[in-house]
A and B are shown apart, each in its own frame.
Chain A
Amino acid sequence: MTLFSIARKNMKNNFNNYFLYFASMIFSIVIYFTFVSLKYDKTILASSDSSPKISAAFSAASVVLMIFVAIFIWYSNSFFTRKRKKEVALYSLLGVRKKQIGKMLFYENFLLGVIALAIGIALGSILSKYFVLLLMKVMGHESLAHFSISFSAIVNTIIVFMIITLLTSFQGYRVIYRFKLIDLFQAEKQGESEPKASLFLALLSIVLIGVGYWIALQNLVTSNVWKTLGMAITPLIILATVILGTYLLFSTVTVYMLKLAKKNKKSYWNGINIIGVSQLLYRIKGNARTLTIIAILSATTLSAVGTSYSSYYNNKHNVEMTNPNSIMFTVTDNNISKKVQDTISKDKNHQILYHETIPTIEVNVDTKNLYDYGDMPYTFISVSDFNILAKEQHRKDSLSLKGNQAAILDAAYMEGFSPKYIGTEVSFNLKEHEQKISFIDLKKYSVLNAKTVFNTIVISDELFTELVKVTNPLDMEVYKIKNEDDAENVTKELKSIIPDQAKFSNFYTDYTSGLETTGLLIFMSGFLGLVFLAATGSIIYFKQLTEATSDKGRYEILLKIGVKKKEIYKSIAKQVLFIFAIPLLAGIAHSAIALTALSNLLQTNLVVPVVICISVYTAIYIFYYFLTVNTYYKIVAKTK
Chain B
Amino acid sequence: MGQIKDYWWKVLGVALVFYAIVAGLLTDVPKLPILNETIRNLYYHVTMWFAMMILMTGSVVYSVKYLMGFNIDFDRKARITAGIGILFGLVGITTGSVWAQFTWGAFWVNDPKLNGAAITLLIYLAYIILRNSLDEEQKRARLAAVYNIFAYVLLVVFLMILPRMTDSLHPGNGGNPAFSSYDLDNDMRKVFYPAIIGWTLIGVWMGQIRYRFENIEKKLHADD
Determine if chain A interacts with chain B: no
Interface residues of B (CB under 8 A from A): none
